[in-house]
Amino acid sequence: QRARYERVLADRIAIVTAHEDHQGNMALLEAEAKIRRHLKLETAKLKAQGMEYIEAKIKEEGEAQKAALEAQNADVLKHEETLLQDETVEGVTKLAKLESDVAQLEK
């Protein structure tokens, strides 16, 4: 009878141990699932932040390029204005010379 009692006790211990192992495994699986969900959320957040950073950089670089082009355009316009003024002065000088020559020829 003692052997039978020990066998029943050993079986019950094995069942309880298996049940505890199963519960431990289930807890590990749940923890793993929570970690995976958390990692997915964090990954999505980081991707969104990365895209925001990239968009901000592109906008910043675009604005810097726009400012550089506007400055360059202003320089070109100023240069063209200077050339036009020089040509105007030269044209007025030539016109005055021609008028003087015509006046000399009329005398």
How far from the centroid of its chain's Cα atoms is residue 58's Cα? Answer: 6
Helices marked H in the chain: 2-106
Q: Is the pTM of this model over 0.85?
A: no
Per-residue confidence of the chain (107 residues) as pLDDT tens digits? 889 989 999 999 999 999 998 998 999 999 999 999 999 999 999 999 999 999 999 999 999 999 999 999 999 999 999 999 999 999 999 999 999 989 888 87
The rounded distance, in Å, linking the Cα atoms of 35 and 74 is 57
